[in-house]
């Protein structure tokens, strides 16, 4: 089964079904058009990005946590 890549619009619109898989740092780079995966790791070190967790040595993100983070960023920008 081929996996479908997510876009920012997949997370930005409401309501939208969440994907059935956890997201990788590469998914976040693609969704948010970040310069590199290192940006995601910097967010994690600084605790400024979406909450992530480890599965063995792999970093994963719950789509619900990414959506919550996007919503919090949008609220902060509206001020």
DSSP code per residue over 16-63: -PPPSSPBPHHHHHHHHT-S-HHHHHHHHHHT-S--EEEETTEEEE-H
Q: Which residue has 């920008």 as its token pair? A: 77
Can you give the residue ranges of every domain in the chain?
Answer: 22-78
Which pLDDT score, from 0 to 100, does residue 70 have? 92
Which pLDDT score, from 0 to 100, does residue 75 have? 86
DSSP lists the bridge partners of residue 52 as: 61
Which pLDDT score, from 0 to 100, does residue 77 have? 76
pTM for this prediction = 0.73
Which pLDDT score, from 0 to 100, does residue 32 have? 92
Residues of the chain with pLDDT under 70: 1-19, 78-79
């Amino acid at each position: 089964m081929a996996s479908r890549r997510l876009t920012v619009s997949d997370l930005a619109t409401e309501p939208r079904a969440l994907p059935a898989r956890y997201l990788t740092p590469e998914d976040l780079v693609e969704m948010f058009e970040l310069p590199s995966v290192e940006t995601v790791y910097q967010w994690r070190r600084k605790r400024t990005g979406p909450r992530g967790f480890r599965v063995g040595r792999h970093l994963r993100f719950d789509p619900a946590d990414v959506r919550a983070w996007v919503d919090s960023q949008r609220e902060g920008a509206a001020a």
